[in-house]
Amino acid sequence: MERSNATPLFLLVLVALSSLAQAEYKLGIPLQKYSHSSSQYEKPAAYKQVAIEGFVYCHGSQRKPLEGAAVGAVSSESNRYVGAKTNSYGYFYIPLNYDRPKKPVNPKSWRVFLVSSPDQTCSVKTNTGNGKTGAFLARSKSFSDRILYTVGPFEFMPLPPGYTQSPNY
């Protein structure tokens, strides 16, 4: 019976890998898998773009999207304010760090508020989705180049009978 030369080499590699794994375990160094594939690479969170999205509606007999509603986001850490207006679907998108791409964003410090309605007949802020008191961000989607948080939906309601402008309560 003839013995293969590959067997001693296989055993040598097996012993070396086992020794390496034991050394990493004893030193507390986690085993890391490295990949050069771009599909598995994920940017550190500090270098990702961060944005907030949501919807604003007019709550009446029918819930309809409110185009042109102003929404604002405020950071309690930096007192920074960023605003946006809704499109024809009532959708808004607020980028938080596009002007500061390497500055990390702390999502726990941001709150989003209703600011104003373009429709004077539907301009009373409600607290649906915490639009009046300020909604905290909820994680929704993470992409390779950005993190997208969601809030709401927010709602304005029609003016009470006898009012010609919002009572601001």
**Same domain membership, residue 26 and residue 59:** no
pLDDT band at 85 (very low <50, low <70, confident <90, very high): very high
Measured between alpha carbons, how far apart are the two ends of the chain, in Å?
Answer: 94
Q: Answer yes or no: pTM beyond 0.75.
A: no
**Same domain membership, residue 93 and residue 60:** yes
Do the domain assignments include residue 76? yes
**Same domain membership, residue 98 and residue 137:** yes
Do the domain assignments include residue 164? no
User: 23 lies in which domain range?
Assistant: 1-32
For 11, the 3-state DSSP assignment is helix
CATH number of the domain within which 125 lies:
2.60.40.10
Do the domain assignments include residue 37? no
Q: Report the C-alpha gap between 117 and 123 in whole angstroms.
A: 5
**Same domain membership, residue 128 and residue 87:** yes
- Residue with the bigger pLDDT between 92 and 7: it is 92
Report the percent of the chain where pLDDT is more than 90: 37
